[in-house]
A and B are shown apart, each in its own frame.
Chain A
Amino acid sequence: MNLAAREYVDKTVKQLIRITGLIVILILTGIFLMLLYNTFAFFRHIKPLDFITGTQWNPSGKIARYGILPLLVSTCLVTLGAMAIAIPLGIGTAAYISEYAGKRQKNILKPAIEMLAAIPSVAIGFLGIVFVGPFIAGATGLPNGLNALNGAILLSVMALPTIITVAEDALRGVPHTYKEASYGVGATKWETLLKVTIPAAAPGIIAAVMLGVGRAIGETMTVLMATGNAQAFPQGFLQSVRTITATIAIETGEVPYQTTHYFALFAIASVLFLITLLVNVIGEHFVNKFRKYHSA
C-alpha cells in the first residue's frame, strides 16, 4: 500500500472509531434520559409527594395507589439484613486471606471466591426456594420460609465476593512499613491488624461495603424468588416483602404500554438508579481516596 492510501486509512479509521465511541456514549446516556422522561410522565399523573410518602403500593386496586415507601423499606430491610451477615464475614475472610493464609490456601480461596461470584443469581434464588426456605420454615414454625430473612441470606451470598475482593485489595495495599513499625513496638499480629492495618485500609474497606450494598440493592432474581413478594407494608424479617427490583420484575410484564402504571415502574426504577448511583459514587470516592493516600 502506498503512503497516501495508508494515511487515508488512518484518518478514516480514526473517524470511524470516534463515531462508534460517541454512539456508545450516547446510547448509555440514553438510559438515563429514558428513565428521566418516563418519570416525568409519571409525575404528570401522580403528585411527587404522594409517591414519596405513600405507604401503599397497589396499582391494580380500585383506587390505584403508587406509594413507594413499602417497596423502599422492603429493599432497605433486605439489604440491611444482608449487610449484617456479609460485612463481618466478608471483612473477616478478607483479613484471613491477606494476613493469615499461606500461598497454598490463597490459591484455593481466591478461585473459590471467584467461583461464588460467577454463580448466576437465578441459581441462588432457586436454592432460596428449595434449601434456605424449608430450613427457615423448620426453624421458626412458619408455613413457608419465603421472607425477608431468606432474601437477606441470599443477598449476603451475592454481595460477599465483591466485599471480600475489594477489602482484601485494601488490606494488602497497606504498606509493610506500617506493620513492621507496629511489630517493632511489641504489638501482636492481632493488635496490629485491629489497630494499624484495618484503620489504614479503612477507606478501601468502606468502598468494599459500599460496592457490596450496591450489588445487594440492585439484585432482582434472588429477592424475586425468595422473599414471597407480598404487597403489604413490611413488618419484619420473618414477613414476606417485595423490593423495588421484584416489583419491576413482576409488574412490567403485564402493564399496558404508556399507562400511569407503566410510567410508575420507570419512576421506581429511577429511585433505584439514583440510590445505586449514590452508593457507587461514594464507593468510588473511597477507592480513590485509598489509592491517593497510599501512593503519596
Chain B
Amino acid sequence: MVDEQIILSAQQVNLWFGSKQILKNIDISFAKNSVTALIGPSGCGKSTLLRSFNRMHDLSPDARVEGQFLLDKQNLYAKDMSVTQLRRRVGMVFQKANPFPKSIYENINYGLKINGVPKSERDAIIEGALKESYIWDEVKDELNKPATRLSGGQQQRLCIARTVALRPEVILMDEPCSALDPLSTLKIEELIIKLKKDYTIIIVTHNMQQAQRVADKTVFMYMGEIIESGNTHDIFNNPNKELTNNYVKGKFG
C-alpha cells in the first residue's frame, strides 16, 4: 500500500451521555482524499463518533468526551482550538436535508459571509460550489427561489454545495441518502466519488450496497466499539471477525 497521509484521527476515545457510555476505546484514522464508510446496527455509536469530529456535541451539556482527536496534528478539543474555525474545516451534511429557510443563493452565501469571504469573490464561489455539487443546471435560473421548494434530493445536493463552498478539509456525512429515492441516492453517490479528489469524506450509512459503491475503507462498529476496519472489499468479502461477517451478510442489524 502507498504511503498515506493521515489527515484526521481519534485515539483512545471514550464518550458518555450522562452516565451512559456511547463510545468505547475508539482508535481510528482517516487518509487524505479517501472515502470511509462507518457501518453498524442502529445505536452502535457511528453517528455519535461522526459528530464528535466537528464537536457537534458541544451543545449537549451532558456529553463528556475523553481521548485525543487530531486534525492535521492539531488537537480538536484543545482550549485554544476555535470550534467555529474547526467546523469550517470539517464540514457536515446531515441525515435530513436542512437548508436554511432562505433563498438558494443565500443558503451558500451565508457561510461565506459570516466567515468573512469578500463580497466580490462570493458569486464565483457560489457558482463553483453549485457546479461541483451537480445542481447548477437545475437551479441556475432561480437562485432567489426559497430552498425549501426544491425536491429532497436537490435540497441535499444544495447542502453539499453549502459545505464545499467553504473548502473544508474533511466532509462528514450522516446517512445523507436515508430520506431520498433511489435516483437521487445514485446522484449523490456519484457526487461523493467525484468529491474524493479534493476532500476527505467520512460517511455513516445503513446501506451496505452504498458502502461498497462509494467507500475505499469501511469501519464496522458494534455497541460503541470498532470491531473491524479495513479496505471495503475485505470487510465485505472476507472479514476477520464472525460478528462482521454476520452483519454484512444481513444476519442482524
Hey, which chain A residues are within 8 Å of B19, CB to CB? Answer: none
Hey, which chain B residues are within 8 Å of A63, CB to CB? Answer: none
Question: How far apart are the CA atoms of A107 and B82 in the complex, in Å?
Answer: 53
- Tell whether B120 is near chain A: CB-to-CB under 8 Å: no
Among A6-43, those with CB < 8 Å from B are: 6-7
Among B49-88, those with CB < 8 Å from A are: 82, 84-85
Hey, which chain A residues are within 8 Å of B2, CB to CB? Answer: none
- Tell whether B250 is near chain A: CB-to-CB under 8 Å: no
Q: B: which residues have CB within 8 A of A? A: 82, 84-85, 114, 116
Hey, which chain A residues are within 8 Å of B114, CB to CB? Answer: 6
A-B pairs with beta carbons under 8 A, tally: 10
Per-residue interface assignment for chain A, residues 239 to 278, with 1 indicating a CB less than 8 Å from any chain B CB and 0 otherwise: 0000000000000000000000000000000000000000
Closest-by-CB residue of A relative to B114 is: A6
- Tell whether A3 is near chain B: CB-to-CB under 8 Å: yes
Q: A: which residues have CB within 8 A of B? A: 1-3, 6-7
Hey, which chain A residues are within 8 Å of B85, CB to CB? Answer: 3
A7 and B82 contacting across the interface, CB-CB below 8 Å: yes
Question: How far apart are the CA atoms of A2 and B82 in the complex, in Å?
Answer: 12
Hey, which chain A residues are within 8 Å of B84, CB to CB? Answer: 3, 6-7
Question: How far apart are the CA atoms of A6 and B83 in the complex, in Å?
Answer: 12
Q: Chain B's nearest CB lies how many Å from the CB of A12?
A: 15
Question: How far apart are the CA atoms of A55 and B187 in the complex, in Å?
Answer: 82
Closest-by-CB residue of B relative to A2 is: B116
Closest-by-CB residue of A relative to B115 is: A3
- Closest 3 pairs between A and B when the two form their complex, measured CB to CB: A3-B85, A3-B82, A7-B84
B82 and A1 contacting across the interface, CB-CB below 8 Å: no
Question: How far apart are the CA atoms of A6 and B116 in the complex, in Å?
Answer: 11
Q: Chain B's nearest CB lies how many Å from the CB of A267?
A: 42
Closest-by-CB residue of B relative to A4 is: B82
Question: How far apart are the CA atoms of A7 and B82 in the complex, in Å?
Answer: 9
Question: How far apart are the CA atoms of A1 and B116 in the complex, in Å?
Answer: 7
Question: How far apart are the CA atoms of A7 and B116 in the complex, in Å?
Answer: 13
Given contacts A2-B116, A3-B82, A3-B84, 7 further A-B contacts (CB under 8 A): A1-B116, A3-B85, A3-B116, A6-B84, A6-B114, A7-B82, A7-B84
Q: Chain A's nearest CB lies how many Å from the CB of B63?
A: 18
Question: How far apart are the CA atoms of A143 and B98 in the complex, in Å?
Answer: 69
Hey, which chain A residues are within 8 Å of B116, CB to CB? Answer: 1-3
Closest-by-CB residue of A relative to B88 is: A3
Q: Chain B's nearest CB lies how many Å from the CB of A39?
A: 38
Q: Chain B's nearest CB lies how many Å from the CB of A113?
A: 31
Question: How far apart are the CA atoms of A7 and B114 in the complex, in Å?
Answer: 12
Question: How far apart are the CA atoms of A128 and B114 in the complex, in Å?
Answer: 60
Q: Chain B's nearest CB lies how many Å from the CB of A136?
A: 55
